[in-house]
Amino acid sequence: MSYRPAAGLPVVDAMTPPVLVLSGPLTPGEVSGPCEALRALLDGGGRGRVVVCDVAGLGPPGLDAVNLLARLQLTARRAGGRIRLRDPSPALCALLDLVGLRFEMEGQPEQREPPLRVQEAVEPGDPAV
């Protein structure tokens, strides 16, 4: 089988952000490696300055996971980018909400104003539901 490269520039999907896969279990000393990997993705990417962090493999959520995600978010902001979480467990979402950290989640719609012309009204004669 032979392969002949196509003429012209390669096709690059500029809308697909790079993915950083995080796996656990975590220890407090394992923060610098993922932060350096994130910084390298943000410096070399240029694709919207967003990196998706796949957190499905982190294991049971704890303060080590919260510490890692907070430091990753800080690293991304210092580099002029941001991170988006992919596949967080409900327990991790609850823990992040408890400590007051807000992250953009992949696959969830952004919080916006409701669409125009949609109004809920109650008529005086409507039965209670």
Global pTM exceeds 0.85: no
Instruction: Identify which of 60, 65, 2 has the alpha carbon closest to the alpha carbon of residue 30.
Output: 65
Report the Cα–Cα distance between both ends of the chain, in Å, rounded.
Answer: 68
Residues with Cβ within 8 Å of 31's Cβ and at least 6 positions away in sequence, in order, are: 67, 68, 71
- pLDDT confidence of residue 3: 45
Burial of 26 (0-12, 13-18, 19+ CB in 10 A): buried
CA–CA distance, 24 with 88 (Å, rounded to integer): 13
Domains present along the chain, CATH in parentheses: 19-105 (3.30.750.24)
pLDDT tens string 46-94: 556 889 999 988 888 888 899 999 999 999 999 989 999 999 999 999 9
Between 3-12, 15-24, 59-68, 97-106, the lowest mean confidence (pLDDT) is in: 3-12
Confidence of residue 123 (pLDDT cuts 50, 70, 90): confident
